[in-house]
Amino acid sequence: MPAPVAVGAYVHIPFCVSRCDYCAFATWTDRHELRSAYVDACIGHVRAVQHGEGLLADSLDPWPDATTAATVYLGGGTPSQLEIGDLQRLLAAIDRVPGAEVTIEANPEDVTPRWAAAAAAAGATRISLGVQSLDETVLRGLGRAHDPAAVVSAAAAIGVAGISSYSVDLIFGGCGETDKSWLATLEGVLDLEPSPSHVSAYALTVERGTPLWRDPARYPDDDVQAARYDVADRVLSAHGLEWYELSNWALPGHESRHNQNYWAQGDYLAIGAAAHGHRSGHRSWNLRTPERYIAAVASGTSPVAASETLTEAERRTEALELSLRTRRGVPAASLPVRSDPALDGLVEPIGQGRVALTLPGRRLANEVACRIDQPEMSKIT
């Protein structure tokens, strides 16, 4: 019998206490009563996909072999809103390789010592904490439910539980944020006890249909955000957290293996409502609402809503665009480095015939990606 194929596994948990002003994710604030049935559905789905078990397995586009998860990522929504028992049985149902990375996204106000200990016992090796800011005014402006004190308690609980890797998510460019308060947030995060081994910092974006979108007075300013990005890079790298993707910095060895698999076009399972999966250029996504997802799995019907298959050319383009966003960069031949003056100062050689974005280049990554050389690209294996 062939060994199971090791893949990533993304599990979407679409429940939140309240909706943040900028959020357009597939999540609901009024359906907590579905949580247990939803976890049942996720367990049925993962067993069908990983092992071909149950009625549902017959209705799915099968993976070629049994799979086992090299990385598991519980994202959302707010996975820390699950009952602890549901969290434990969900993770127990996902077959994983020894030493698998298991990340759980959590909101600071949920991370009590009891929750962190239970998460560790369930196999979590990594917590991704939705901090966003340590400035009370900015948090209120983003519509976040927690206060800065909750972040301090959450970090301590993670440390006591012995979870050795944790990440802090930050957002810059929110209403009421100043140069001073952004610097204070970065320094405050690095002063947490224990301090995070990983930080993700994203520019606030305005998503259509959100409360933020309806209030142009609160739209972020591009120049301000560019300056805030530079400050983040300077402060984080001075503390030993190196950039490895546009919005991600980590201590060596604490990079997110799950996300690195995405950026390398690896394969990953999609479990849960609205989750997206990928296998060898074939992408699929699940039914969007928890009710429809639960009903599909319960009736033995595939919860996959739709899929698409990329052409080889599309895969090559995507591979280069994803890799350009990382410190691995791209083959120098895929960019007109010598002939296009617009690229001056935006990319630099990193050895072995590759180039990567400089700090100014990271701020203009989309413009650089537009210059990826299509004819040259087809010659790159």
Binding site for ligand SF4 (CB under 6 A): 16, 19-20, 23, 25, 27, 76-78, 107, 130
328 within 8 A of 353, measured Cβ to Cβ: no
Q: 76 or 290: whose CB is closer to ligand SF4?
A: 76
By Cβ distance, which residue is nearest to ligand SF4? 23
b vs e for 27-43, b when ≥16 Cβ sit within 10 Å of the residue's Cβ? Answer: bbeeeeebbebbbbbbb
Question: In the bound complex, what is the minimum distance in angstroms from residue 76's beta carbon to ligand SF4?
Answer: 5
Long-range contacts of 179-184 (CB under 8 A, 24+ apart): 179/227, 179/228, 179/231, 181/133, 181/135, 181/137, 181/138, 182/228, 182/231, 182/232, 183/231, 183/235, 184/134, 184/135
Closer to ligand SF4 by CB, 25 or 63: give it.
25
In terms of CB distance, is 76 or 331 closer to ligand SF4?
76
CB 70 to ligand SF4: min, Å: 25
Q: With contact defined as beta carbons under 8 Å apart, do 240 and 321 qualify?
A: no
For the bound state, the minimum distance from the C-beta of residue 252 to ligand SF4, rounded and expressed in Å, comes to 28
Nearer to ligand SF4, 143 or 336 (CB): 143
- Contact (CB, 8 A) for 103 and 127: yes
* Closer Cβ to ligand SF4, 76 or 303, answer by number: 76
Distance in Å, CB of 78 to ligand SF4, minimum = 5
Residue (12 or 363) nearer to ligand SF4, CB: 12
CB of 27 to ligand SF4, least distance (A): 5
CA dist., res. 45 & res. 53, Å (int): 9
Tell me, what amino acid is at 46?
Answer: V
- Shortest Å, Cβ 253 to ligand SF4: 27
* Beta-ladder partners of 312: none
